Structure 1
Amino acid sequence: MGYIFWSIVAVLIPCILAGMRADSIGTDVAVYAKPLFDVAHSCSSFGEFYGSGFVQHWSYANVSEFELGYLVLVWISSRLFDSVQGLLFLTQLLIVVPIYWTLTREGNKETLAMGMCLFLFLYFNQSLNMMRQWIAMAFVFFGAVGLYKKNGSTENHIAGIVSILIGASFHTSAVLGLAVFAIRSYMDSSSNGQLKKVVHVCGLALIAILFIGPVASLLTSFGFGSYVAGYLGNQSVGIMPNQIIMRLPLIVFALIAFRRTEQRDSFAAFLLCMVIVGVLLSQLTSLSDHGGRIGLYFDMFALVLPSALLRTYQINNATRFAIKSVLIVYAVIYWAYFYVLMGSSETVPYLAIWG
């Protein structure tokens, strides 16, 4: 009972903080969350809400332009609460619960605490802004780690894919989760060695970035033109050193786990792929303000790095303590740089404070 109680507390604290924040924290709150909530609150039925329009960031938008899953969430929130804070609370709940549940399945209490620590320092601020995408990402994470089982049955794989498709109902970009799921399956396959498979996956990601123009054209032909315009911008990739430097420790941690298992652990190989691809895709920030968000679908699997690292050091307590300390210090530095100093994600007006 104590574990359940403290788990509820651990989940509710970030959700309550998200719900209590001012409307100005997280620009997407003012851009679409609050306007959609106000429209839903004034409508008598979901059909009326779905067919309505509203002013979005000084331009007119139709409610139906948003993903159905998110609209259902807004509608339910408008029936349960009288203010947008209720919607913000439920939004965070749909982010934190899948992540927390996945971390409980993947490790133990020690790695669960470390994984949540990484989430709060690395990604919590982002989740207050990119709300729809973070719900989508949480379900991708849940599908590719929480529900996926090595050598599992077809039902296990279907469940994971369904979770990813549920994520896509909140933000269409969750279709990237199918690529994540495919990589997970490839790493578990018997073909080639793990190192070769890591090289194959990362090499393919690098080629996609170097030839981003044809990739953008292909995505446009599949009906993702609006996302191509918003995420891939001018389609001329440049190097973003700060994005690389701040993520290098994640690659080092993943390499330690990968090497420690003598390259036989398919899960350690999968995590190494995720963090390397995440660093590569972070360079898409050079295309547009939203470009780097694509890499987050891969970046976020760093949350299970503590599980991969600490289970390889079951006896050496001093080494385990050192790993946890380094992870926490890294997370604090990351938070201080991106969110405090740089004012990323528009969650707190740090830029105004620092002048």
Structure 2
Amino acid sequence: MKITNVVWGFVLIIPPVALATFRFNVGTDYNSYIRLYNMLKGYNPVEFARIFVADIMAQEPLWYLTNRAAFLLFDSEIGMFFLSSLIMIIFVVLGIRYFARHISFGYALFVFFMLHYNMSFNAVRTLIAASIIFYALRYILERNLFKYFVFILLATAFHRTALLAILFYLVIPVQNRTLGIMKRYSYYFLILLTPIVLALALRIARMIPIFDKYFYKYSVSSFGLGAGFLIYVLPFLTPILFLKNKISKIDNRYSVLVDAALFHLPLRYLGYFTEYGHRVEVYISMIYIVLIPLSIRSLRYLPSRVGLTLYYTGVLLFYYIYTYIILLGHETYPFYFISGF
């Protein structure tokens, strides 16, 4: 059985990793990653160690190590794209595997490919970090703060914004019933006040050195809810919220994941305040990889399951076509392979 799992693991991993590895000029920041790789490979070990130590607190040291490993193992930027996509896909597959007895593994992968895979051709570091956070969701369910925090630090070493994921742990209910009710409704209230809360939170984030690169310049002029904000969130989130009780019957711990999914509202709205702010939504939108299949599984009657499956399939296909093909999001179309490959 274990050998079979390994074989299927390779079958699942190889195609998306190969596609990401042998692409040519696909992804908005494709050339930026190549320039960074070429810069890093020019350093001797002593110079690289100095940069690594200097960036432990200020930058993303594991991304430097990934580039260095690509140089030592492959001596090519292709190796860098290979290692980065391999790391991401492994964490995604292992993250899905944790929930495999309650969801369709294939449909969970379909959700990932429709929502996030193309984005990984551009926001490489962010998607690696998000895949690590996705893997670490198990530690929220298990209430293991130490392990969850360790994986947050690991993700932060690829992209510092992953520190935001520490907030997801706050949705875990407390034992005291009265305090639990107060905490839950306070959380819902803050979500409803997203525009005001974010305006204040960004002022604070701007004063924290580790975030200054991302939030040094922001605008609070867009103080109302935009249609785009709702369109990108509600089609995914609404059925899940309505089915929360049914999802909880599969495993009562899963209600925590539904509550955590509400973070999609403020994180998506962040794009109204700061350039590229909407990218951080990926840290929580990856939760749909399991919540969408769970919502389908929660329905007892086959016609209802089929109906919800068709609904989500249509929504996901529309999102993919509209975001990546029509709007050319992350510049992943048209797709080109490495010349001559």
TM-score class normalised by the smaller sequence: 0.7 to 0.9
Q: 1:196 to 1:347 in 2, by over 3 A?
A: farther
The alignment yields a C-alpha RMSD, in angstroms, of: 3.0
Q: 1:261 to 1:84 in 2, by over 3 A?
A: closer
Shift of 1:51: 5.1
- TM-score, structure 2 as length reference: 0.85
1:87-236 equivalences in 2 (<5 Å) = 87-108=80-101, 110-143=103-136, 145-150=137-142, 152=143, 156-183=144-171, 185-186=172-173, 189=175, 191=177, 199-207=185-193, 209-223=195-209, 224-229=211-216, 233-236=218-221
Instruction: Write the distance in 2 (CA, Å) between the matches of 1:257 and 1:142.
Output: 23
Residues 110-136 of structure 1 show CA distances to partners (whole Å, capped at 9, x for unaligned) of 522111110101111111111111111
Deviates more, 1:269-278 or 1:294-303: 269-278
Q: 1:175 to 1:63 in 2, by over 3 A?
A: closer
Q: 1:213 to 1:326 in 2, by over 3 A?
A: closer
1:281 aligns with 2:267: yes
1:322 aligns with 2:307: yes
Residues 211-252 of structure 1 show CA distances to partners (whole Å, capped at 9, x for unaligned) of 43432232233322222126xx22333433123123212122
Deviates more, 1:276-285 or 1:96-105: 276-285
Task: Pick the aligned partner of 2:7 from 5, 8, 14.
Answer: 5
Question: Where in structure 2 are there 5+ consecutive unaligned residues?
Answer: 336-341
Deviates more, 1:243-252 or 1:98-107: 243-252
Deviates more, 1:254-263 or 1:219-228: 254-263
Partner of residue 234, structure 2: 248
What SS is found at the alignment partner of 1:305?
helix
Count of residue pairs brought into register by the alignment = 329
Instruction: Write the distance in 2 (CA, Å) between the matches of 1:294 and 1:242.
Output: 16
Which amino acid in 2 is paired with 1:7?
G
Give the percent of matched residue pairs that are identical in Structure 1 and Structure 2: 20
What SS is found at the alignment partner of 2:104?
helix
Q: Please tell me whether the aligned partners of residues 279 and 299 of structure 1 are also in contact (alpha carbons under 8 angstroms).
A: no
Shift of 1:192: 5.0
Partner of residue 20, structure 1: 22
Which amino acid in 2 is paired with 1:146?
R
Q: Please tell me whether the aligned partners of residues 63 and 157 of structure 2 are also in contact (alpha carbons under 8 angstroms).
A: yes
- TM-score, structure 1 as length reference: 0.82
Residues 267-300 of structure 1 show CA distances to partners (whole Å, capped at 9, x for unaligned) of 4433333333213331222223301122222222
Q: Please tell me whether the aligned partners of residues 198 and 270 of structure 2 are also in contact (alpha carbons under 8 angstroms).
A: no
Instruction: Write the distance in 2 (CA, Å) between the matches of 1:127 and 1:208.
Output: 27
Which amino acid in 2 is paired with 1:103?
I
Partner of residue 343, structure 1: 328
Question: Where in structure 1 are there 5+ consecutive unaligned residues?
Answer: 53-61, 351-355
Deviates more, 1:165-174 or 1:261-270: 261-270
1:49-88 equivalences in 2 (<5 Å) = 49=48, 66-88=59-81
What SS is found at the alignment partner of 1:246?
helix
1:30 aligns with 2:31: yes
Instruction: Write the distance in 1 (CA, Å) between the matches of 2:87 and 2:176.
Output: 35
Q: 1:305 to 1:14 in 2, by over 3 A?
A: same
Partner of residue 41, structure 1: 41
Deviates more, 1:166-175 or 1:75-84: 75-84
Instruction: Write the distance in 2 (CA, Å) between the matches of 1:189 and 1:180.
Output: 18
Shift of 1:258: 0.5
Q: 1:166 to 1:262 in 2, by over 3 A?
A: closer
Structure 1 segments of 4+ aligned residues over 6 angstroms from their partners: 62-65, 193-196, 262-265
Shift of 1:209: 3.0
Shift of 1:323: 2.6
| Higher RCO (Cα < 8 Å, 6 or more apart) | 2
Shift of 1:147: 3.5
